[in-house]
Amino acid sequence: MDLDDPISTYIPELSWMDPGVTIRRLLHHTSGVMGYDDSDDIYEALLALSPAPDNEDVLSAIAQFPDMLSQPGDEFYYSNTGYDLLGLLIERVSGQPYGRFMEANLFAPLGMSHTFALPSDRRFDDSVAQSYDPSGPYEPDVLDNVNGSGSIYSTLGDLYRYDQALYTEALVSQDLLAEMFTSGTLNDGEAINYGFGFDVATHAGYDYVGHQGSWLGFDAYYLRFPTEELSVVVLLNLDYADPGSEELAFAIADLYLP
């Protein structure tokens, strides 16, 4: 695949989209695609399709409301839906469910034996942490089986294996990694400080990449200073924990940065 191909090249049902909606712009959150995280109508349409919608249902729901947030490349809008379309892209090109592809091509080769993507019976294993709010544990959510923007369970040990693999070519080439860690730009040339799934910025004079994620009480942050070969992973499972994962990650990093 070419990152600058329109997403509709691989998912023909998206031919109604502007051809400027490319793989790269979806990765950069600059595609302008409106999704269920932007519109209650799309969210309700998604739930009407299935009690446990998947990536194909996301495709059907957004097709009912073909408005755009902006012209492709004009604005940065963080979009879970855009990454779920990328999850569907993986399924279409590989011919495999997202979770099976991730297991065969990422988790198993890197020895991440405690990591899995939903849907999976492993979620209910006694060794898997639940998430909580002050009133008790969270129940499963109807969007848990939508893949691309989340729905992956992992551990500190497995994320260490992932982190270390990025210093080699076991997962991706160093040339592609450099592209992942480079800020995208808008049509007017403005930098968005976001690469492929990573914030790209500096902290205390050091270049870093990182990303926060939260869902139903879970709160995670992955922070990486590539030149210093320092990474910090914080995983929390209590809603509104204070301090949160991002604040903790940078506080820990400050203990180690010269």
The 10s digit of each residue's pLDDT in 185-242 is: 999 999 999 999 999 999 999 999 999 999 999 999 999 999 999 999 999 999 988 9
List the alpha helices (DSSP H) in 64-186: 80-94, 98-102, 156-165, 174-180
What CATH architecture is 1-95? Up-down Bundle (1.20)
Quote the CA–CA distance of 240 and 147 in Å, as a whole number. Answer: 24
Cβ-Cβ contacts under 8 Å for 176 (sequence gap 6 or more): none
**pLDDT for residue 153:** 96
pLDDT at 37: 85
CATH architecture of 118-258: 3-Layer(aba) Sandwich (3.40)
Q: How confident is the model at residue 38 (pLDDT cuts 50, 70, 90)?
A: confident
Q: What is this structure's pTM? A: 0.94
Q: In this predicted model, what pLDDT tens digit does every residue of 94-123 receive, in sequence order?
A: 999 999 999 999 999 999 999 999 999 998
Conformation bin of residue 100: beta by default, left when phi > 0, alpha when psi is -120 to 50: alpha
Q: Domain ranges for the chain, please list them.
A: 1-95, 118-258
What are φ and ψ of residue 8, in 5° steps? -70, -15
Let me know if the fold of 1-95 is the same as that of 118-258: no
